[in-house]
Amino acid sequence: PPAVQFHEAVEKFNSNVAYSGLKHAVSSEGIFSENKEKLINGSLTALLMKEGDQNSLPNDRLEEQFHALRRLVASKAGYEAFTSLTNFREIVGKKVVRALRRKDDGISHACVDFLCALMQPMHDNYDLRQEQMNKSSLLSSKPFLEMVLEPLKTHVQLGTGALVVSSILDFFTFAVCPPYSETTEAEKFDMVLELISGLSPL
């Protein structure tokens, strides 16, 4: 059979894995049991190493990559990979910035939805300390947060982009609204509130 292209594998993954993430993402005990965490980390690494030129990649393929990343980080291992996997934060940060600069609604929604899954755990029995670490990293850069907010300004003024607006509101809800805000550092909480208050003329 012909070799499957990487983008085809990503598309098939998204088609076969629910939006909520992998069903069996935790390793079970037993001699022949698979290390699920290792498989998830390997998948995340492959997605980022084989992502292609982010400046020339077709919009639909970039959007598919974010959908796949979101499904993987919905698992405990994927969620923890944000701070434990080597260079994961740096590569993801650059990927998100380049994606938002495209100003494509489909990509922007998939991108911010992925960030939401890193902000708030989508799996059971999550570690509050890990949630704090993820939030601390995601909320550490004011210019980055301003870039995430930028599409909100545009769409609110035009009355467009409902899904983009919804995902951005979710992201900042996880930062400043109870009970989610309990794991947000005070300094970053204040910075986010200041950024949001700057939107008041809208």
Residues in the chain: 202
Euclidean distance between CA atoms 124 and 25, whole angstroms: 11
Q: DSSP assignment of 101-112, as one string?
A: HT--HHHHHHHH
Residue 3: which pLDDT band, with cuts at 50, 70 and 90?
confident
Mean pLDDT of all residues in 76-80: 93
Give 21-63 pLDDT, tens digit per residue: 887 666 555 544 467 889 999 999 999 999 988 889 999 999 9
Instruction: Return the pLDDT at 123.
Output: 87
Percent of the chain with pLDDT over 90: 78
pLDDT tier for residue 10 given thresholds of 50, 70 and 90 = very high
- State the chain's maximal CA–CA distance in angstroms: 61
Mean of the per-residue pLDDT values of the chain: 91
pLDDT value of position 200: 64
Work out whether the CA dihedral 89, 95, 101, 107 comes out positive or negative: negative
| Comparison of pLDDT for 115 and 122, the residue scoring more | 115
State whether residue 163 is helix, strand or coil. Answer: helix
Tell me the C-alpha distance between 161 and 65, whole Å: 20
